[in-house]
Chain A
Amino acid sequence: MKKLLRNRESLLVMIIAIMIAGFATRAPGFAAPGNLANIFNDTSILIILALGQMTVILTKSIDLSVAANLAFTGMAVAMTNAAYPDVPLALLIVMAIGIGAFLGAINGYLIWALQIPPIVVTLGTLTIYRGMAFVLSGGGWVNAHQMTQSFLNAPRLPVLGLPILSWVAIIIVVGAWFVMTRLPFGRAAYASGGNPTAAVYAGIDTGKTRFFAFMLSGALAGLCGYLWVSRYAVAYVDVAIGFELDTVAACVIGGISIAGGVGSVAGALLGALFLGIIKNALPVIGISPFAQMAISGVVIVLAVVFNARAERKVGRIILRDRAAPEVSP
């Protein structure tokens, strides 16, 4: 893991540490381990979704349908649980991941086979998936009393001092790190985004790589569908509305280039934690809920500006490279 913490990531770690220290001066106990563990647990779902989003962004794409996918999948498992309390939880989780992966695969297929730009496809499926959640539920809610105890409690069970929800996030962070650095798929994702043409020339199927990235993002969104519904003990159509933008913001803050090919698992994790800390800290230090959104927004924009400046270095080299062949054509 140490190797992953290159300059940009260690810088983010420092900024986060300074933030925590700063908030602790205003709200005693903010930096206490228990509170930090709570914040991590609270940010777990964002971390998982940001990792899926990261994989997609690395391939020069974007997945705007993750939150809608989460809402539909969450509704589907909640309704199944309410209607058939005997279905084992493990099966429900497999079902959530499967539905999510299927919805992600639809995105991936449209982008791969029909060559439609990812932002257009996922903007469309965002509406479709949420609309499907509406059709499925008829606009109704699934409330806590309709869900089984195991369905509701599993993510909260403490194991070695941390709730299972946190452990799931940790396992997925490690898994994503493994996939991105140790599997050919990870390398193909970086190459497809870093220079799609060069990737094709090197024998990589960029369409297929993108398809799997979307499927992975969808599968993680599906898993989060269950985690979300269980954690908040309610399922309704507007669950996690707008949350896809938080996942994109987490990636951008974490240094994942929207242009593709640049970024790391550590970056996405830190970007998500950064957002999670701000969201948790602002109410604690007594900032009005009305200002909170604006402040979060300002912070995100600042992070993007910061990111763009760091990226410009690479841009200059590309320009120089272009100028050189121009000498002679």
Chain B
Amino acid sequence: MMNGVTQVQDSPPRPAPLVETAPLLEMRGISQIFPGVKALDQVDIKLYPGQVTALIGENGAGKSTLVKILTGIYRPNEGEILVDGQPVVFSAAQAAIDAGVTAIHQETVLFDDLTVAENIFIGHAPRTRFGMIDWSAINKRSRDLLRALESDIDPTIRLRDLSIAQRHLVAIARALSVEARIVIMDEPTAALSRKEIDDLFRIIEGLKRQGKAILFISHKFDEVYEIAENFVVFRDGRAVGHGKLRDTSQHEIVRLMVGRDVKDVFPKTKVEIGAPVLQVQGFSHPTEFHNISFELRRGEILGIYGLIGAGRSELCQALFGVTRPSGGTLTLEGRPLQISSSGDAIRAGIVYVPEERGRHGLALPMPIFQNMSLPSLSRTSRGGFLKAANELALSRRYAERLDLRAAALSVPVGTLSGGNQQKVVIGKWLATQPKVIILDEPTKGIDIGSKAAVHGFISELASEGLSIIMVSSELPEILGMSDRVMVMREGLIAGMFGREQATAETLVRAATGNA
């Protein structure tokens, strides 16, 4: 099907009873190109009625893009989609719904202040003869749908008053109410407890019996093996393997997911690891993480790996003083450290480069140099007065070092490209001359070429004696860059691995909880 790509044998050893059916939905040669990034590259997928197909891949592999194409939010640049063998074009979200495709998102996109029934039928409410909304029909049909899902949620209560698991049920009921034949579930178990997951799986079994085709997106291998028949593995926007789960080992899937020879892709230069700089003791948060202890040495890169929701970003935000921990102590260079605001952290020499540069990183209407100098104003000012000349000099220094491309340092940051905005964010934090720099998904959403540049730069910082904490969901990046890897799962440390012990498999196992 594709050239130069690992293929998993499609032929099962035993005759499979269901495979002979024609695919309900087929995607052929789908490509999606964004400026500077090819999010999907010639992807083929088939979904069969009455079967669950698991879509597996790291963050950034193109799974969400695929979901957006299937739900009519993005229009692919190449390729075609067939439903029942007939080509279709999803020109808008409604077209996808009309074709029988519906998605249940990771964070349910529902309305908190509407009732359960209104949420289920919004957009396609049954009408009375006079064109008014038929409330009794809405409530009755909602109750029936929920009962089919073995739930007795009252359709007239507000969604706000439900638990997260119950909201998922409402989302599923909504999917069923449009008589969808193809159901996409984007990490539906991320927020659920084990019991709720069992309930969800019973519902999925019911959907299978009704002949619906299900695309199930999950990071968790145990769940995938439990519920799905087929799998597709995505890596860097390409479908690198597909087949029957029955015939494929977990090891094989991890190998497909990560690719080979990862350590050679992101080489970290050898750096002399020095004395401990930061010691974290028993750091806890009421809901996000518990009893986290580790130390960070001079020149060291500590990678933090884990699934989304494992508490990695929250831990880093607590170290930086934006989130308040409920307990634990910090020691910086042997001295105890109290951090109650980001200002304290910056003064102490700890900085955090956030994951979402747009939301956390930059004030887009402000000039480049004012963004860069913002955390360093106490150093560039004289006697309590701002000194634009000092701010410009500071910005020029880091703009040169990072090879920032801009017409002038006085133009608004909003006029720069994404890659250059990222450079402003990094420059802004380096300008504070930190001892510890925390990078949250430093290469998320940037193309391969820029990634190499960012990795080279991180290596360089380590060799200058900075201590670095790098949160990443990309295994090659974690494996290639880190001196040590801390794996987090459900807010706890699930393992600490030295560079030699860390392999794709050990990390994935620790992160997913599969011993």
Give A residues with C-beta under 8 Å from B: 181-184, 186-187, 190-191, 194-195, 197-205, 257, 261-262, 314, 317-318, 320-329
Question: How far does the alpha carbon of A252 sit from the alpha carbon of B375 in the complex, in Å?
Answer: 29
State the majority secondary structure of interface residues on A. helix
The smallest beta-carbon distance between A160 and chain B, in angstroms, is 28
Residue of B nearest to A319 (CB): B358
Cross-chain pairs A/B with CB under 8 angstroms, 22 sampled: A184-B381, A194-B365, A198-B361, A198-B362, A200-B342, A201-B361, A202-B346, A204-B374, A261-B365, A314-B364, A314-B365, A317-B415, A320-B35, A321-B421, A322-B358, A326-B445, A327-B34, A327-B39, A327-B65, A328-B39, A328-B60, A329-B444
Q: Is the CB of A318 within 8 A of B358?
A: yes
Contacts A318-B358, A327-B39, A328-B444 given; indicate if A200 touches B363 (C-beta within 8 A): no
CA distance A328 to B237 in the complex (A): 9
Query: With A191-B366, A195-B363 in contact, is A201–B414 under 8 Å at CB?
Result: no
B366 touches A194 (CB 8 A): yes
Q: Is the CB of B386 within 8 A of A201?
A: no
**Contact yes or no, A197 B366, CB < 8 A:** no
B371-392 at interface with A (beta carbon < 8 Å): 374-375, 377-378, 381, 384-386
The smallest C-beta distance from A245 to any residue of chain B, in angstroms, reads 25
Task: Pick from B35, B322, B358, B362 the residue with the most CB of A within 10 Å.
Answer: B358
Contact of B365 (CB < 8 Å), options: A257, A323, A325: A257
Contact: B363 with A328, CB < 8 Å?
no
Q: Determine whether B359 belongs to the interface, using a CB cutoff of 8 Å to chain A.
A: yes
Closest Cβ of chain B: how far from A326's Cβ, in Å? 7
How far apart sit A257 and B414, CA to CA, in the bound complex (Å)? 15
Q: Is the CB of B386 within 8 A of A190?
A: no
Contact of B418 among A184, A186, A321 (CB under 8 A): A321
Contacts of A184 in B (CB 8 A): 377-378, 381, 384, 386
Scoring A187, A195, A323 by chain B CB atoms within 10 A of each residue's CB, the highest score goes to: A195
Contact A187 B343 (CB under 8 A): no
Q: Which residues of B contact A195 (CB under 8 A)?
A: 359, 361-364
The complex places the Cα of A323 from the Cα of B358 at a distance, in Å, of 10
B354 close to chain A: CB less than 8 A: yes
Within the assembled complex, what's the spacing in Å between the Cα atoms of A309 and B68? Answer: 30
Interface positions, chain B 314-367, Cβ under 8 Å from A, are 320, 322, 341-343, 345-347, 352, 354, 356-366
In the bound complex, how far is the Cα of B384 from the Cα of A328, in angstroms? 43
Cβ–Cβ contact B341 & A205, under 8 A: yes
A327 to B381, CA, bound (A): 40
Nearest residue (CB) in A for B317 is A201
Query: B445 contacts which of A187, A262, A328 (Cβ < 8 Å)?
Result: A328
- By a CB distance below 8 angstroms, the chain B residues around A199 are 363, 374
Complex interface: chain B residues within 8 A of A194 (CB): 363-366
B51 at the interface (CB under 8 A from A): no
B385:A182 contact, CB within 8 angstroms: yes
Do the beta carbons of B385 and A183 come within 8 Å of each other? yes
With A182-B386, A183-B385, A327-B445 already in contact, the answer to whether A201 and B354 are too (CB < 8 A) is yes
> Once the chains are docked, how many angstroms separate the CA of A157 from the CA of B362?
48
Excluding A261-B366, A325-B444, 9 further A-B contacts by CB distance (< 8 Å) are A190-B370, A195-B364, A201-B342, A202-B346, A203-B375, A261-B365, A317-B414, A327-B445, A329-B59
Which of B341, B354, B370, B385 is A203 in contact with, Cβ under 8 Å? Answer: B341
1/0 contact trace for B40-60 toward A, CB 8 Å? 000000000000000000011
Contacts of A262 in B (CB 8 A): 365
Q: Which 4 residue pairs are nearest across A and B when measured between Cβ atoms?
A: A194-B363, A328-B60, A203-B343, A325-B445
Interface assignment of B37: CB less than 8 Å from any CB of chain A = yes
Answer yes or no: B291 CB below 8 A from chain A CBs. no
Q: Is the CB of B418 within 8 A of A198?
A: no
Within the complex, which residue of A183, A317, A325, A326 is in contact with B364, where a contact is CB–CB below 8 Å? A317
A187 contacts B386, C-beta separation under 8 Å = yes
Complex alpha-carbon distance, A200 and B352, angstroms: 12
What chain A residues lie within 8 Å of B364 (beta carbons)? 194-195, 314, 317-318, 321
B329 to chain A, nearest CB (A): 22
- Are the C-beta atoms of A329 and B64 separated by less than 8 Å? yes
With A183-B386, A324-B418, A325-B356 as known contacts, state yes or no: A198 contacts B342, CB within 8 Å. Answer: no
A318, B421: Cα distance in complex, Å: 11
Tell me, yes or no, whether B412 is within 8 Å of chain A by CB.
yes
- Mark out the residues of chain B between 393 and 432 whose CB falls within 8 Å of any chain A CB in the assembled complex: 412, 414-415, 418, 421, 428
Would B34 and A323 count as touching, CB distance under 8 A? yes
Residue of A nearest to B375 (CB): A202
In the complex, what residues of B have CB within 8 A of residue A328's CB?
37, 39, 59-62, 64-65, 444-445
Q: Which of the residues B34, B36, B39, B360 comes within 8 Å of A198, measured between beta carbons? A: B360
> CB < 8 Å: which of A191, A314, A327 contacts B374?
A191
- Most B Cβ at <10 Å: residue of A203, A314, A328: A328
CA–CA, A181 and B387, complex, Å: 9
Q: Are A187 and B374 in touch, CB under 8 angstroms?
A: yes
**Which of B360, B374, B378, B384 has the most chain A CB within a 10 Å cutoff?**
B374
Query: Which of A182, A202, A317 has the largest count of B CB atoms less than 10 A from its CB?
Result: A202
Q: How far is the CA of A203 from the CA of B60 in the complex (A)?
A: 30
| Contact pick for A329, options B36, B60, B360, CB 8 Å | B60
Residue of A201, A321, A323 with highest tally of chain B CB at under 10 A: A201
Closest B residue to A329 by beta carbon equals: B64
**Complex Cα distance A197/B194, Å?**
35
Tell me the bound Cα distance from A327 to B77 in angstroms.
14
Q: Give complex CA distance A177, B510 in Å.
A: 57
A190 neighbours in B (Cβ, 8 Å): 363, 366, 370
The CA-CA distance from A187 to B369 in the complex, in Å, is 12
CA A199 – CA B371 in complex, angstroms? Answer: 10
CB contacts (< 8 Å) of B34 on chain A: these are 323-324, 327
Q: What CA separation (Å) do A203 and B346 show in the bound complex?
A: 7
Instruction: State A127–B407 Cα separation when bound (angstroms).
Output: 49
